[in-house]
Chains A and B, each alone.
Chain A
Amino acid sequence: METPLTRFIRPNEESLLLSEYEKRGGYTAVRKALKGFAPEEVTNLVKDSTLAGRGGAGFPTGLKWSFVPMGDDAPRPKYFVVNADEMEPGTFKDRMLLEGDQHQLIEGIIIGAYAVQAEVAYIFLRAHYNLTELRMKRAIQEAYDAGYLGKNILGTGYNLDLHLHVSAGRYICGEETALLNSLEGKRAVPRAKPPFPQLSGLFGRPTVVNNVETVCNIPHIIEHGAEWYKGLSNSSHGGTKIYGVSGRAQRPGWWELPLGTTAREIIEEHAGGMLPGHTLRGMLPGGGSTDFLTTEHLDVKLDFESVPAAGSRFGTGTMIILDDKTCPVGFVYNLLKFYARESCGWCTPCREGLPWIARMVKSIEDGNGEMGDLDILAQQTRSLGPGKTFCAHAPGAMEPLQSALKYFKDDFVSHITGKRCPWRG
């Protein structure tokens, strides 16, 4: 089984310096793309590869790029931005790629930026990823020194500057238009779409925003082609996926596996099953803002089609496990408290609604709930659902709640009738 994204990653060791990365074949994809392909050919190759965005939304990457205005009369400068604001609860895949192999990401950035003919690129890095900050600064400098960044890259006449922006911390920065406001030095409130960033992004100029894992795929697609890339997958979209498991499993961790690996294989084989004395009850398949799946869904392939068909979202591909020793109401309350606090405050339903809902779930968890609360909560999951708020923040927050009310309703009821949390003494 091929693991292109993690081939050079050695956990708990130094990441590769540029010279070591080159020795192992690194930066050949940049040479190939910039010298052998026209920008539109790169975009078409990525389209053909069926690479879909790994940040959570799953939008086809090549298609995203193809919306950027090209040619001499395109507005300039154009920007290529990497979303490294990994703050989705339960998600830790980009950290590993960022800490483990900086030059893979930089190589992907150069090729992606070349495809849309961007002059300037940014990495928007979340707060607290200090090791990444340190290593990425070093790697960017190395890439400049080697002539992969800056003016006239590899003598092709193509120019690209790459900057690292370290966030001051706020979950909503991961929303691509909020991220652009933050990069402009403003409050990170989302923007209205349309216009989409590809037409009007950073400072109103054409901008592509791609997730870290997405960008890391690009050099491999250039090097080995679309057919090879599609062959890596067990799904209708190409490539491998960084899957992860957190919670009370034997071996929480991450694994690079074919896209379309089942939840069962990931939990039972790779994570080694549950800790002794713990039984699996459910999982959020792709981070905190995805609907619960349960033990009946273990054979669902974790990919862009199968997870929605099972009633959830693929999201970031990093699973959070709910076990039988953990209270599902407390679990959902923890998530709601997070989303309530991280609401940017721009639109009223999200700003006012999320804390209100969180308080109601807390009162149930504390044994002060009433049966009527369950109907109100169910109704509110619709009031804050897709299309009712300015961005996807509140609808995302409703996903674990609405699915918990479906699969773990008995547990909500037992809190209310017993007037206490059965999981607390």
Chain B
Amino acid sequence: MLSEREKTDIDAEIAGAPKKRMTTIEALRIVQRERGWVSDEAIKDIAEYLEMTPDEVDSVATFYNMIFRKPVGKHVIFVCESISCWVTGYEGVREHLQNKLGIGPGETTSDGMFTLLPVDCLGACDRGPTMVVDEELHGNLNPESIDKILDEIKREG
């Protein structure tokens, strides 16, 4: 079942759209914001609400990189692996993150705190290497700055 808050937010999107199904991506993002990821159950809920089949909604959900069809940690670390960040030190950044967190790309720490996801160009190529954590962009990364960022997040919980 969609929560009242999810329904209200999806309704607001529908109100501004010429067709209900135009809001599929918005609905997926809203549900993911509330639940952290998009389960099979969530796909069915959205489908029913937008008068689509679950397969139609899932075909959209699985197409987009930022819709998570598996649970992720509380904080997702999006580390840019595209060309400019690769040239300026992505591999060292990834290695440091993996060692520090004890996980590989696509994995989540056992305490459920962090998921590490290498992603496409973050569009901050002049500040490489870069990553985004909790919607905040961090550039010119090095082991020290990464430690500082992650320790700060851990402190805040």
Contact = CB atoms under 8 A, between A and B. Distances in A.
Contacts of B24: 185-186
A331 B120 contact: no
A87 B66 contact: no
Nearest to A330: B86
Interface in B27-53: 28-29
Interface residues of A, number: 57
B109 interface: no
Contacts of A92: 123-126
A331 B126 CA distance: 17
A129 B67 CA distance: 16
B71 to A, nearest CB: 17
Interface in A313-362: 318, 320-323, 326, 330-331, 334-335, 338, 341-342, 344
Interface residues of B, number: 40
Contacts, number: 138
Interface in A281-324: 284, 288, 318, 320-323
A168 B67 contact: yes
Interface centre among B16, B60, B64, B128 (most CB of A within 10 A): B64
A284 B24 CA distance: 37
A65 interface: no
B157 interface: no
Contact of B65 (A94, A127, A182, A252): A127
Given A127-B66, A182-B25, 17 more contacts: A128-B78, A128-B122, A128-B132, A128-B137, A130-B132, A130-B135, A167-B25, A167-B64, A168-B29, A168-B66, A169-B120, A184-B21, A185-B25, A187-B63, A252-B125, A318-B125, A341-B120
Interface of B: 16, 18-19, 21-26, 28-29, 59-60, 63-67, 78, 81-84, 86-88, 119-128, 132, 135-137
Interface of A: 77, 86-92, 94-95, 126-131, 161, 163, 165-171, 182-188, 203, 244-248, 252-254, 284, 288, 318, 320-323, 326, 330-331, 334-335, 338, 341-342, 344
